[in-house]
Amino acid sequence: MKKAVELVLLLLLLFFTPHIMGKRYSPPGKPTLTRCRSPEKETFTCWWEPGSDGGLPTTHALYYRKESSERVYECPDYHTAGENSCFFNKNDTSIWVNYNITVVATNTLGSAFSDPVDVDVVYIVKPNPPEKQTVTIMEDKGWPFLRVSWEPPQKADTRSGWITLIYELRVKLEEENEWEMHLAGHQKTFNIFSLRSGGKYLVEVRCKPDHGFWSEWSSTSYIKVPDYFHREKSVWILLTIFSAFIFLILTWLLHMNSRSLKNCILPPVPGPKIKGFDNQLLKNGKSDEIFSALMVSNFPPTTSSNYEDLLVEYLEVYVPVEQELMQEESKDLHGGCLKCERSTSDSDSGRGSCDSHTLLMDKCGETKEEGRHTDRASSRMLTEAQRHQKGWEKDTLTYAHGDMVSPDMSNGRVKTWPSVFSPLPQYSSNPLDKQSSLEMAKQHCLSTSSCLTQPGHSTKEALGPSNWDFCLGNKQPHLLHPQTQVGRQLQAHSEVNISNIGRKQAPAGLQSPALRSTEYVEVQRVNEEDLVLLQPVVSGCGRIEGYPQMPKGKDYSKVKGVDSDNMLLLQREVMEEDWWTGNCYTSSTVNTTQKPTACIHTAMPVQGDMALAMNGYVDTATMCTLPTC
Amino acid sequence: MPGNIRSVSFVVLVCLLFCSRLTSVGATPICTNAHAGCHVLSLSNLFDRVIQHSARMHGISNDLHSEFEQYFLPSRNQIGRVSRNCHTSTILTPNGKENAQKMAREELTEVILKLLVAWRDPLWHFHHSMAHYDDFNNFSSNKALEMSDMVHELRKGVEKVAEKMQVLGITSNTVNSLTSPEALLPSESAEWRLMKDYDLLYCFRRDSNKVQNYLKILKCRIVPEHGC
């Protein structure tokens, strides 16, 4: 009893010990056929994956059955292809025959069958990769390309036509990640173009039968492309130089024409500008400074000048009463002239505006013989006119004189007094003589008449030629030809300028009538004898229209003396004779004046109660009443 | 007037007839006798044409087979299929490279022709039976028709190749037995009717591959210049 119990216990122990120990034996797990491959369609290999072995050593066996027979064969070679594989050699392989393959795992406890797999060798061909791969660099018209060539795998029999393979290659640069694929078809060479200069390329090839699997990639071939870019580089260098050259030329051209271009693209905007007006001062906001800046320092002129010297510069023109009246009327003309001058002489405002009045000024400039002088004179006139625009009403002649003459004397420019000044003869508040003022006024008339653009004015017309003709004289006979009023007046004006020059140079004081052949009118001072003589300098011909230079009613005669017979001896005849030699008076006028002289020459006794002029002048008209006359 | 119209219409008719005759000629006929005036194709060229044709045929059969597998046989249990034999299994075909290379050219050509002949009728019927399958689209039906036409054309081509080889003296005159291959298969004609469509496709896929391969072997054995 005890023994039986012990035996049972032992048996139980033995039985259960493996369980207590933790080890379990079981039949093997189900293996699985993973794949079958044929490298050349003549042999093939199948691999399987064993299942769990169940703790016991298991063996695997592969059995296969061919298509049309029920006979089961076992795998002939378990070792050639490695672990868990079965290799079917040529004798055992039949193409176009369906193999039914099963793997069995067996251990002591049991066996396990895998799922059967149908295999037709034709459709499991996976060749070896291509062999003898070569990559060479070749050149096509200077541009390199790669030529890749290879051989089919040795085992695959393509020569007999048993297998036909198609190839594929891939290329990439060493530093890149992506391959460039190329299908080569049945051919065994391939060209690769568009290479990067100096790049290192990797090339691989693989193959595939008509119906099968792609082979593995062949071993990589390395190739380095030579540097062919240097030729391209030289082209680039040339291009760069050329473009830089063109750029420099363009820059230079732009620089040369920058100003004109600037004017073309961005025309200057005319802005109001007042001479002497400082914008900055305005911004600062000090009105005193602003307006003080506007004031010209030397205006009004305060420098005292020798008025007598100044007088030398002026033309003395004797204007008859009638002419004086007309002067009044011609005030508006002066205004017109002012306007004219003002419009043309506005040099401070924006340029570019063309004024028709400039035409007038151009004519003034053209007709001047001593062009530059007269230009300066006119410009001088203009500037002065402009400057004194505002203050011309207030200014006196004194100021005008001073302003005009003093700066000009220095450099010898032609002096003309500006016609801005009012030629009103009423400016008698100055210390100058009345006559001087008259002369001034006359001169004003003269000068202004040159600028007048209203040729239709009859009075002016009358004024102009009468005043000018005698002075123009033979110097410029062409002036006497019929011309436009404006032109004649301009010419006259120019002559006035010229005469002024002459006047300046000449000593102040007496001047002989025949001093020059020019058309100067000699200005004679009022000497102690209170004789004012108007001497027509011009010796040539001339005509007097309208008014004679010597007014009718003003035949002055100088009393030479009274002789014993109480006869007045007039000097006049002598002078007249001198005069008549050179003057341009018409005979009519001469006759009128000559007659009394003739009377005088006869030395007619002068009656004591003969009316004597205030200053010793005898009114010749009264003398004519003598019977002998 | 009516006389003129009649004559004109007659001329037009004649012209039309002639034109139709001319157009129906089609491609230049291949002259096996190499007489003057015929455009003679080389054997190599013939082989290439035939091989291309067979490759195309195999491709179509492969496509059809895979489509069939997709639609009609979800289970991959192929044990049953193996039991059924193809009706062409009686034709002794070489199952290996050595066997194929050992075979004479004439025999190989004969095998090819036998195979092609054997498949003419079954494919024709297969094409007709495609109409029963609603799942199949028209594209597959057209493929079946194309396949049957191809078999016919391929057979003609291979016959021409055989003729050419005979003329060139490459093969002996024992190929004369191929003139009526239909005589070989009257007893087996009923077998293919028992086969299911799927099995038919399976068998034809394999047989077209065989044809292609045999033709290649022949070509590389006889005219190995290009592509061998």
- In the block, residue with structure tokens 């004179």: A377
- Bin A583: left if φ > 0, else alpha if -120 < ψ < 50, else beta: beta
Give the residue on B whose Cα is nearest the Cα of A91: B96
The pLDDT value given to residue A179:
94
Do residues A420 and A338 touch, judged by C-beta distance below 8 A?
Answer: yes
**CB–CB contact A120 B206 (8 Å):** yes
**CB–CB contact A159 B95 (8 Å):** no
Residues of chain A with Cβ-Cβ distance to B227 below 8 Å are 164, 186
Give me the residue from A67, A98, A160 closest to B220, CB to CB.
A160
Give me the residue from B58, B81, B217 closest to A162, CB to CB.
B217
As a whole number, mean pLDDT of residues A18-30 equals 71
In the predicted model, is pLDDT for residue A513 greater than 60?
Answer: no
The pLDDT value given to residue A370:
46
Residues of chain B with Cβ-Cβ distance to A97 below 8 Å are 95
Cβ within 8 Å of B, A 3-42: 41-42
What type of residue sits at position A209? P
Neighbour-count burial for A348-363, b at 16+ CB within 10 Å, e otherwise? eeeeeeeeebeebbee
* Residue that wins the pLDDT comparison between A19 and A50: A50
**CB–CB contact A161 B219 (8 Å):** yes
**CB–CB contact A118 B85 (8 Å):** no
As a whole number, mean pLDDT of residues A595-610 equals 43
Type and span of the H or E element at A64:
strand A59-65
Least confident of A492-496, A530-534, A568-572: A492-496
Name, in order, each residue with C-beta under 8 angstroms of B157's C-beta and a sequence gap of 6 or more: B46, B49, B50, B53
Nearest to B106 by CA among B98, B114, B95: B114
Residues of chain A with Cβ-Cβ distance to B86 below 8 Å are none
* Banded model confidence at residue A570, pLDDT cuts 50, 70, 90: low
As a whole number, mean pLDDT of residues B39-67 equals 89
Torsion of the alpha carbons at A262, A266, A271 and A274, rounded to the nearest 10? 0
Residues of chain A with Cβ-Cβ distance to B224 below 8 Å are 159
Give the residue on B whose Cα is nearest the Cα of A210: B55
Give pLDDT tens digits for A54-90.
788 888 999 999 887 889 999 988 999 889 999 999 9
**What DSSP character marks residue A456?**
T
Percent of chain A whose pLDDT exceeds 70: 43
Residue A569, beta-bridge partner list = A561
Give the residue on A whose Cα is nearest the Cα of B215: A161
**CB–CB contact B96 A42 (8 Å):** yes
3-state secondary structure string across A422-491: CCCCCCCCCCCCHHHHHHHHHHHHHHHHHHCCCCCCHHHHHHHHHHHHHHHCCCCHHHHCCCCHHHHHHH
Give me the residue from B81, B93, B101 closest to A160, CB to CB.
B101
The pLDDT value given to residue A323:
53
**What DSSP character marks residue B145?**
H
- In the block, residue with structure tokens 């040729």: A455
Query: Could you give the angle at the alpha carbon of A449 between the alpha carbons of A448 and A455, nearest 5°?
Result: 140
Q: What is the nearest CA distance from A153 to chain B, expressed in angstroms?
A: 14
Do residues A537 and A473 touch, judged by C-beta distance below 8 A?
Answer: yes
Chain B residues with CB within 8 Å of chain A CB:
55, 58, 62, 78-79, 81-82, 85, 89, 93, 95-98, 100-101, 206, 209-210, 212-213, 216-221, 224, 227-228
* Banded model confidence at residue A194, pLDDT cuts 50, 70, 90: confident
Q: What is the nearest CA distance from B65 to chain A, expressed in angstroms?
A: 13
Please count the helices (runs of H) and the strands (runs of E) in chain B.
9, 0
In the predicted model, is pLDDT for residue A182 greater than 50?
Answer: yes
In the predicted model, is pLDDT for residue A276 greater than 90?
Answer: no
* Banded model confidence at residue A440, pLDDT cuts 50, 70, 90: very low
Measured CA to CA, the distance from residue B46 to residue B34 in angstroms comes to 14
The pLDDT value given to residue A409:
43
Give pLDDT tens digits for B22-50.
555 555 555 555 555 566 778 888 999 99
CA distances from residue A214 to A41, A203, A434, B42, B62 in whole angstroms, order as listed: 14, 17, 132, 34, 18
* Residue that wins the pLDDT comparison between A12 and B5: B5
Q: Which two tokens stand for residue A585?
A: 């008076």
Q: SS3 of A35, please?
A: strand
In the predicted model, is pLDDT for residue B221 greater than 50?
Answer: yes
In the predicted model, is pLDDT for residue A184 greater than 90?
Answer: yes
As a whole number, mean pLDDT of residues A476-488 equals 43
Mutate to test the interface with A, among B95, B105, B213 (most CBs of A within 10 A): B213
**CB–CB contact B95 A161 (8 Å):** no
In the predicted model, is pLDDT for residue A488 greater than 50?
Answer: no
Residues of chain B with Cβ-Cβ distance to A95 below 8 Å are 95-97
Do residues A539 and A517 touch, judged by C-beta distance below 8 A?
Answer: yes
How far from chain centre, in Å, is Cα B190? 21
Cβ within 8 Å of B, A 464-483: none
Type and span of the H or E element at B204:
helix B197-222
CA distances from residue A540 to A73, A166, B48 in whole angstroms, order as listed: 159, 126, 129
How far from chain centre, in Å, is Cα A511? 62
Residues of chain A with Cβ-Cβ distance to B82 below 8 Å are 65, 67, 98, 100, 118
CB half-sphere exposure, A192, CA atoms < 13 A: 25
Mutate to test the interface with A, among B44, B52, B61, B82 (most CBs of A within 10 A): B82
Q: Which two tokens stand for residue A232?
A: 């391209």
Give pLDDT tens digits for A401-427.
444 444 444 444 444 444 444 444 444
Give me the residue from A118, A160, A211 closest to B217, CB to CB.
A160
* Residue that wins the pLDDT comparison between B142 and A432: B142
Give me the residue from A93, A116, A164 closest to B216, CB to CB.
A164
Query: Could you give the angle at the alpha carbon of A222 between the alpha carbons of A218 and A225, nearest 5°?
Result: 140
**CB–CB contact A162 B97 (8 Å):** yes
* Residue that wins the pLDDT comparison between B139 and A416: B139
* Banded model confidence at residue A244, pLDDT cuts 50, 70, 90: very high
Measured CA to CA, the distance from residue A19 to residue A16 in angstroms comes to 5
Give me the residue from B62, B89, B218 closest to A68, CB to CB.
B89
The rounded mean pLDDT for chain A is 66
Residues of chain A with Cβ-Cβ distance to B92 below 8 Å are none
Give me the residue from B81, B95, B224 closest to A96, CB to CB.
B95
Do residues A27 and A112 touch, judged by C-beta distance below 8 A?
Answer: yes
**What DSSP character marks residue A582?**
H
Give first-to-last CA distance, chain A, whole Å.
Answer: 218
* Banded model confidence at residue A180, pLDDT cuts 50, 70, 90: very high
* Banded model confidence at residue A210, pLDDT cuts 50, 70, 90: confident
As a whole number, mean pLDDT of residues B67-80 equals 63
Written as one string, the DSSP assignment of A139-153 is: EETTEEEEEEEEE--
Query: Could you give the angle at the alpha carbon of A285 between the alpha carbons of A279 and A286, nearest 5°?
Result: 100
The pLDDT value given to residue A42:
93
Cβ within 8 Å of B, A 125-184: 157-162, 164
Residue A204, beta-bridge partner list = A170
Measured CA to CA, the distance from residue A553 to residue A547 in angstroms comes to 12
Radius of gyration of chain A (CA): 67
In the predicted model, is pLDDT for residue A516 greater than 60?
Answer: no
The pLDDT value given to residue A614:
46
* Residue that wins the pLDDT comparison between B60 and A597: B60
Give pLDDT tens digits for A95-135.
999 999 999 998 888 888 999 998 999 999 999 999 999 99
The pLDDT value given to residue A12:
75
Measured CA to CA, the distance from residue A347 to residue B179 in angstroms comes to 123
Residue A36, beta-bridge partner list = A46
Do residues A365 and A450 touch, judged by C-beta distance below 8 A?
Answer: no
Query: Could you give the angle at the alpha carbon of B180 between the alpha carbons of B176 and B182, nearest 5°?
Result: 145
* Residue that wins the pLDDT comparison between A276 and A7: A7
* Residue that wins the pLDDT comparison between A205 and A364: A205
Give me the residue from A65, A90, A161 closest to B217, CB to CB.
A161
**CB–CB contact B97 A42 (8 Å):** yes
Give me the residue from A67, A93, A159 closest to B228, CB to CB.
A159
